[in-house]
């Protein structure tokens, strides 16, 4: 199970990297905008800064929605740094762009996936990752984790190499549910990752150990 952090915030990326368990980063245009990053040069520089902080894959999303535009942008993004994975939406032109970029040895992440059918086409086109958005499905009373399990089963059965990257994770329980569903990767906000550590018995136990030590050692 790999952990990616789902943010463009450099401080949070550094904090997750310092934990020693980070395998990569996902961004999207909304996350970049949240950090106030605008203008082509600034955006590209920001991706490079992220790649310098982490060791693993860094997803950078195209803005174009036509085939020519997506492959041009994708090739440019991929040339920035060897860790860049080009994020392409699960639309008709996007599937063609994934196929093309895969043939050029460029890694892709098929994003905005909300159905097994979209995940099937992404895998057939040769996507390196497929990103089902579980939180946004939950928001419309559809079980997002169930979709992860369905895609994992399909990929296992047909032996696709595409990795299932559970995205739109909103809380810590989602991470555990994605583990149970067999996701290859979970991309999470920092708080959801840190939430995995929270347990009252750990805090109570540690307090008692330290109190007992102090009784005889102060």
Residue 135 lies near ligand E4P (rule: CB under 6 A): yes
3-class secondary structure for 31-87?
Answer: HHHHCCCCCHHHHHHHHHHHHHHCCCEEEEECCCCCHHHHHHHHHHHHHHCCCEEEE
Binding mask 92-131 for ligand E4P (x = CB under 6 A): -------------------x-------------------x
87 carries an active-site annotation: yes
Give the residue, chosen from 3, 5, 6, 60, that forms a contact with ligand E4P under the rule CB under 6 A: 6
Residue 90 lies near ligand E4P (rule: CB under 6 A): no
Using the contact rule CB under 6 A, the part of the chain among 62-70, 132-140, 146-154, 203-211 near ligand E4P is 132-140
Give the residue, chosen from 83, 108, 118, 168, that forms a contact with ligand E4P under the rule CB under 6 A: 168
Q: What residues contact 58, with CB distance under 8 A and at least 6 apart? A: 24, 25, 26, 27, 47, 50, 51, 81, 83, 84, 85
- Please name the residue that has the structure tokens 């059965």: 157
Q: Give contact residues for ligand E4P (rule: CB under 6 A).
A: 6, 26, 28, 111, 131, 133, 135-136, 167-168, 187
């Amino acid at each position: 199970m790999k952990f990616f952090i789902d943010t463009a915030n450099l401080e949070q990326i550094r904090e997750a990297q310092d934990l020693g368990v980070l395998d990569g980063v996902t961004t999207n245009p909304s996350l970049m905008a949240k950090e106030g990053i605008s203008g082509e040069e600034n955006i590209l520089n920001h991706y490079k800064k992220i790649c310098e902080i982490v060791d693993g894959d860094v997803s950078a999303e195209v803005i174009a929605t036509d085939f020519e535009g997506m492959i041009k942008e994708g090739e440019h993004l991929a040339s920035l740094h060897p860790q860049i994975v080009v994020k392409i939406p699960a639309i008709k032109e996007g599937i063609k762009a994934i196929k093309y970029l895969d043939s050029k040895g460029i890694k892709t992440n098929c994003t905005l996936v909300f159905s097994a059918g979209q995940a099937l086409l992404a895998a057939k086109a040769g996507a390196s990752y497929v990103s089902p958005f579980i939180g946004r499905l939950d928001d419309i009373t559809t079980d997002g984790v169930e979709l992860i399990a369905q895609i994992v089963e399909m990929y296992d059965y047909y032996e696709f190499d595409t990795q299932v990257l559970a995205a739109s994770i909103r809380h810590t329980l989602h991470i555990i549910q994605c583990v149970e569903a067999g996701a290859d990767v979970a991309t999470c906000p920092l708080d959801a990752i840190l939430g995995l550590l929270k347990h009252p018995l750990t805090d109570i136990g540690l307090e008692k150990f330290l109190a007992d030590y102090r009784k005889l050692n102060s």
